[in-house]
Structure 1
Amino acid sequence: MGVAVSTVICRLLATIVLFIMYLGSFERAIGLGDLKLFNRKLFGEILRIGWSLGVNMSCWVFTQLLIFTWIAMIGTGELAARTYMNTLESFCFLLGYSVALAVQIQIAHLFGAGRAKEAYGTAYRAMWIGLAVVTVNALLIFAFGRQLLGLFADNADIVSLDVSLLGLNLLLQPGKMVNMALSNALNAVGDTWFTMWISVFSMWLIATGLAYYADIELDWGLVDIYHLSREDSLFNEVSGR
């Protein structure tokens, strides 16, 4: 209950902050009258790109919901450990994800200007920069993970379980960075349907399917379900184009 309430409150506050930032991001203030504006052609173009991105994100949300449900079936300790691990993971890839978002803007600008070769090189340059960043972050968290977890959890079993997951995190975060950089690069040039189909396949069949088999059928525990539920990042890496 505490995790759920705190998560909702934090995301509600973040939404309010983003909305305030949005209102002040244009040359003139946005008013209620702007809600009546509608451009059918522009809406169609946005829907063509945004629909596949929406499917991609919704699949991620629902697959994570299922995986967390299966983790909860293992035990409350495992669920708490996975929740703490989510927070530590966010510190690993936050800067890398920022690089991926920034390069998406750059690539869209370069591709729109007809500089496709430069855009191609920019994607891989950002990927290598992001890899360096997330690898260093993952190493730091692996080295000081026990101390960091001790600030939030006093259950020795949960801390020990999370420390074991941090070892896997060293392998998984670089794959996630490659996935983020190349996926955002493809989205920047409008190739959102390809990334959607790859993501849907990997999230539902590989991540969710194998996690279910490992947890429900084989009863392997949290370490294996964590590893398998992150295989979609690595699959997207080798399937990118």
Structure 2
Amino acid sequence: MKDSNTTKKMTLFALTWPIFIEILLHMLMGNADTLMLSQYSDNAVAAVGVSNQILSVVIVMFGFVAAGAAILVAQNLGAEKPIVAGKVAVTSLSLNLIFSLLLSLGLFLFSQTILKMMDLPIELMHEADSYMNVVGGLIFVQALIMTTSAILRSYGFTKDTMYVTIGMNIVNIIGNYFVIFGPFGFPVLGVEGVAYSTITSRFLGFLTLLFILVKRNKGTFPFKSFYKYEKAHVKDLLNIGIPSAGEQLSYNASQMAITYFIAQIGTMAITTKVYVQNIMMFILLFSIAIGQGSQILIGHMIGAGDIDSAYKRGLKSLKIAIAVSTFAAIAIYFSSDFLLGIFTDNPTIIEEGALLLLVTIILEPGRAFNIVIINSLRATGDVKFPVFVGILSMWGVSVTVAWFFGIFLGLGLIGIWIGFIADEWLRGILMLRRWRSKIWVRKSYVKQAEH
């Protein structure tokens, strides 16, 4: 059972650095299949790339239960209600299993139909379909990984999820090596083999995470909550999770709209955007890790009724995230020729990419505002305001301004980046005002349950 000093024992740095490494490894794991398949065939890379684009949208939908579980578990632990936290954890695993099994079945049965809707060339269909049948048909394992990891992090066990992610990467890379290169007479299975390797690493990862979760929380996990739901817990999970998922889906859709604008500029513009955003991801990881670490701490503080500490924690985390992301953006800009040179030797792409990375120094602090404060607001239970503002700003500012400056005024990618900057800074300032207003004090789900 957790004691009342749990939150005091956790520090932002202790929570954040394992989260940073874990997210980095998940990102690299997502690219491992593509990188290793590039040694096999270009068609295989294209087939897996399109399939993963579809699967990434599905994976976002799994996040809504995991997001709700993370916040509710943290708040209940802060309120010294480990049994209630355990019930929420078990219920969330059950809900996401049912939901993800339905989506898995849909992906397995309708994989070819979905791929045809993407206008996939006929020569890629067989390999893409094979990958979708295996990875898509068993995508429920990823849903369980996301939920279990979110719960473990809320208990403060961020190192455990990091170590499991390292193990999953190792298993996946070894598996890929065998099925792509066929050492020791092992059959070369190509895309289908990579699919088996991916799902094997995920399945082993989930079993390990589940074992750790149960072992570390003996006596506080009522397993009957797996099939016997409490209405209040299900309602709270959905109230937090659905808006969070809606925001993420809206963001993905707005990015697709902006990619459509960039396609009108030309192929080189698309290529430049892809390379620059791949580099920018490494800056973004700092803010994401700080945001998630802050969410755990603030959730515990809110559950314990320590509003003042939660408020100060949010502002302090924001200052750290702004400083770190700005420093990282400056360092990356001064390394831009080298970093872009890893991807291409085209001088035009390198020159324009460097200019975009210079403008990114203005963009990244705005993103830090959003990521840290939105995670802080979610930790308190204030989830709807960030979603409404986010959707309005993504479409009303980001997409509109990107089109106006990038396409209408002909500024190209710089115009697109102006749209990104306007969106991030506007939302960031509005989120900070919301945090300072302390309207979120009455949003705590633990406090609501007590009245």
Q: TM-score of the superposition, structure 2-length normalised? A: 0.49
Runs of 4+ in 1 over 6 A off after TM superposition: 9-14
Relative contact order (C-alpha < 8 Å, sep 6+): which is higher? 1
Stretches of structure 2 lacking an aligned partner (at least 5 in a row)? 1-42, 57-134, 143-198, 216-223, 435-451
Whether 1:73 aligns to 2:264 is yes
Q: Does the CA contact (< 8 Å) of 2:405 and 2:418 recur in 1?
A: no
Whether 1:108 aligns to 2:299 is yes
Superposed displacement of residue 24, structure 1: 3.9
Superposed displacement of residue 231, structure 1: 2.2
- The separation in 1 between residues aligned to 2:364 and 2:338, in whole angstroms, is 20
- The separation in 1 between residues aligned to 2:227 and 2:415, in whole angstroms, is 51
The 5-angstrom pairing of residues 1-241 of structure 1 reads: 5-6=48-49, 8=52, 15=142, 20-21=205-206, 22-27=209-214, 36=227, 38-240=229-431, 241=434
Superposed displacement of residue 75, structure 1: 0.4
Secondary structure of the corresponding residue to residue 154 of structure 1: coil
Q: Does the CA contact (< 8 Å) of 2:325 and 2:368 recur in 1?
A: yes
- The separation in 1 between residues aligned to 2:296 and 2:262, in whole angstroms, is 37
- The separation in 2 between residues aligned to 1:204 and 1:108, in whole angstroms, is 30
Q: Does the CA contact (< 8 Å) of 2:405 and 2:412 recur in 1?
A: yes
Structure 2: which amino acid aligns with 1:87? N
Give the stretch that moved more between structures: 112-121 or 203-212.
203-212
With over 3 angstroms needed to count, the CA separation of the structure-2 counterparts of 1:148 and 1:107, relative to structure 1, is same
Give the stretch that moved more between structures: 220-229 or 134-143.
220-229
With over 3 angstroms needed to count, the CA separation of the structure-2 counterparts of 1:189 and 1:222, relative to structure 1, is same
Structure 1: which amino acid aligns with 2:327? V
- The separation in 1 between residues aligned to 2:320 and 2:375, in whole angstroms, is 15
Structure 2: which amino acid aligns with 1:237? G
Q: Does the CA contact (< 8 Å) of 1:206 and 1:231 recur in 2?
A: yes
Secondary structure of the corresponding residue to residue 229 of structure 1: helix
Provide Cα deviations, 1:174-194, integer angstroms capped at 9, x if missing partner.
111111111111111010011
Q: How many residues align?
A: 239
Quote the sequence identity (%).
27
Q: Does the CA contact (< 8 Å) of 2:401 and 2:418 recur in 1?
A: no
Structure 2: which amino acid aligns with 1:48? N
- The Cα RMSD (Å) is 2.8
Structure 1: which amino acid aligns with 2:236? E
Q: Does the CA contact (< 8 Å) of 1:67 and 1:229 recur in 2?
A: no
Provide Cα deviations, 1:82-130, integer angstroms capped at 9, x if missing partner.
0011111111121221011100110010011000001000001111111
Structure 2: which amino acid aligns with 1:239? L
With over 3 angstroms needed to count, the CA separation of the structure-2 counterparts of 1:3 and 1:99, relative to structure 1, is farther
Stretches of structure 1 lacking an aligned partner (at least 5 in a row)? none
Q: Looking at CA atoms only, which structure, 1 or 2, has the larger radius of gyration?
A: 2
Superposed displacement of residue 218, structure 1: 2.7
Provide Cα deviations, 1:121-150, integer angstroms capped at 9, x if missing partner.
000111111112111111110110111110
With over 3 angstroms needed to count, the CA separation of the structure-2 counterparts of 1:24 and 1:95, relative to structure 1, is farther
With over 3 angstroms needed to count, the CA separation of the structure-2 counterparts of 1:3 and 1:210, relative to structure 1, is farther
Superposed displacement of residue 41, structure 1: 2.7
Superposed displacement of residue 36, structure 1: 4.9
With over 3 angstroms needed to count, the CA separation of the structure-2 counterparts of 1:129 and 1:18, relative to structure 1, is farther
